[in-house]
Structure 1
């Protein structure tokens, strides 16, 4: 068993993050020493790293908790792949939205570069 500071250091997170992950159910409740110190299994580091990776690709904390709970309950990667597919669909939607925004800005930039700024009619001559 390893104390919270060591788990945090090994996982590259703060002690507060370890406590938060414990509170949210990403980590199982730690064993408490008579002094009150939390101690964790060394495997907690891998669980924290996995949770951070899943968070980085867009999974919410609730989704991570549900995925880990399903895995802990005997779920397999095959039975849980739908969660990752849902995240990928969200990312694809965001990419499409950002692409539309980019397509909107490109002609405006060209117009401004050519001295024909589309913002000019909006700004009165006295404000220039």
Structure 2
């Protein structure tokens, strides 16, 4: 398959296909004598899987590792558990930041804004 066909069927841009090839999500495409890339038929499925893993919160490196592991759901569950742990930590960080922002907003509304220098406070 040509790169444009892969991109269209996978619902991504041609640049994304090239990027995925460079990063190892896709194996290197064969080249025609003209220099055009020719991808294996499973390239579309690999891109769709990569996008699904990305939607779950996997990093690109984790996606590449998972796609190359050829494991089963049983042997690969730990990857998803690590993603959930990372997401939980990020959610906790965001909640903490939100609490701080809300406190600062309340302070600003009461005239005690900590976002401006003391001489500019009203």
Q: Which has the larger radius of gyration?
A: 1
Say what the alpha-carbon RMSD is for the aligned residues: 2.2
Instruction: Give unmatched runs, 5+ long, in structure 2.
Output: none
TM-score (norm. length: structure 2): 0.84
**Distance in 1 of aligned mates of 2:80 and 2:47:** 18
2:108 to 94, 112, 116: 112
Greater than 4 Å deviation, 4+ residue runs: none
Which deviates more from structure 2 when the two are superposed, residues 14-23 or residues 50-59?
A: 50-59
**Displacement of 1:44:** 1.1
Alignment of 1:97-108 (within 5 A): 97-108=93-104
What residue is the counterpart of 1:49 in the other structure? 48
Any idea what SS the aligned residue of 1:124 has? helix
Instruction: Give unmatched runs, 5+ long, in structure 1.
Output: none
Count of residue pairs brought into register by the alignment: 122
Whether 2:80 is the aligned partner of 1:84: answer yes
TM-score (norm. length: structure 1): 0.80
